[in-house]
Amino acid sequence: MAGQFWSPSDEGGYLYSDELSELIRMQLQPRCKFRQFTEPREADKPLHKGANFYWDVISSIGTRASSALGEREKMPETDFTITQRSLTVTEGGNSVPFSQKLEMLAKHDLVAIIEKTLREDAMKFFDASVYTQFNLTPLRATPTSGTSTTAITLDTTVQATVTNNIEMGIEHIKLIADTMQERNIPAYMDGDYVCLSRPTTLRPVKDDLEAIHQYTETGLSMIFAGEKGRYEGIRFVEQTNIPVGGAYDSTTFDAFTGTGDAWNNAKSSWAFFFGGDTVLECLVVPEEIRAKIPTDFGRSKAIAWYYLGGYGLVHTDATNARIIKWDSAA
């Protein structure tokens, strides 16, 4: 049985010592980065309404006005279409059982330690859940021929067709920024797009950003958690919850377990460039810490985190997609 108990040292016994440091030292844990970019957060789903959550997507006007109207000319008529997307509300959670004996004999506050550990676990779960939706975007950008620094190939069917074999650089970012603007992808905030990736993927870019923004106010004004800089109307945000790699042909990459699978040649890794209206969160029960009712006459206890909700990519078609993934076929 998993849990925390007094007898095994590494499961609870170490929480007591005749001379025990009062400072609790936790292993390093990443913080939520993906989840901050979900929108909008729907928090008012009523009870007894089923597990599906729907939202409407309104198209552009069917036929644009083509010219000025003549005085005797009839007003033209057109229309627009409404499509519907949905997500399924699911539960998320994890728990840590512990014995009453461990709680009573430990010098540290066992409940506080478990709560902090569970919060870290919840953050990883949320980022993995949102990443999974981001990764459904049909738009995939790769350097043309795998190594070009002056051209990118944009695939529109979820699958990258070029094996990436070069670091992501400033020129690639300029090309992606131009592509987003040409596709009329709306800005995420204050006229800016966002790029979310891992520190090593952004390292070549950060080296250039240090020089570009060394003396500019915009280079120092950070908005998002993990933000490192701004260039070409793109704000760069780092995260480490989601591992490296995960090309289209990968069978081992798993965002939830943190199992990475580097791209062939490992010259770069994924990066998401996006504007507004990306992933929707249906929030029914916000994440919370719950305590189990003690059993076995109060000797068996547990604490859990719990969440009821779901995430869904807002625009799944290439024409209206808001997210471009820097990707690789292998």
The token pair at 235 is 């704000």
Residue 93 lies in a domain: no
Domain region containing 169: 138-277+318-326
Instruction: State pTM to two decimals.
Output: 0.84
What does the pLDDT read at residue 110? 81
SS3 call for 267: coil
Residue 6 lies in a domain: no
What does the pLDDT read at residue 224? 82
Dist CA 306 CA 287 (whole Å)? 5
Pairing outcome for strands 234-238 and 227-231: antiparallel
The token pair at 257 is 């377990």
In the chain, the number of structural domains is: 1
SS3 call for 306: strand
Pairing outcome for strands 271-274 and 38-42: unpaired
What does the pLDDT read at residue 28? 44
Residue 191 lies in a domain: yes
Closest of 255, 217, 120, 233 to residue 180, by C-alpha: 233
What does the pLDDT read at residue 24? 45
Dist CA 92 CA 215 (whole Å)? 45
pLDDT single digits (tens) 80-126: 888 888 888 999 999 999 888 888 887 768 888 888 888 889 999 99
Residue 221 lies in a domain: yes
What does the pLDDT read at residue 101? 87
What does the pLDDT read at residue 45? 61
What does the pLDDT read at residue 155? 97
Residue 43 lies in a domain: no
Dist CA 317 CA 247 (whole Å)? 20
What torsion do the CA atoms of 251, 254, 259, 262 make, to the nearest 10 degrees?
Answer: 50
Closest of 15, 101, 8 to residue 296, by C-alpha: 101
Residue 214 lies in a domain: yes
225, 294 in Cβ contact below 8 A? no
Instruction: Tell the residue number behind the tokens 């229309």, with chain if given.
Output: 79
SS3 call for 140: strand
Residue 195 lies in a domain: yes
Pairing outcome for strands 139-143 and 152-155: antiparallel
What does the pLDDT read at residue 48? 63
Residue 308 lies in a domain: no
Report residue 144: phi and psi, to 5°.
-55, 135
| Ranges of the chain with pLDDT below 70 | 1, 3-30, 40-48, 108, 210-222
What torsion do the CA atoms of 54, 37, 93, 91 make, to the nearest 10 degrees?
Answer: 0
What does the pLDDT read at residue 23? 47
The token pair at 166 is 């070069």
What does the pLDDT read at residue 215? 44
What does the pLDDT read at residue 41? 65
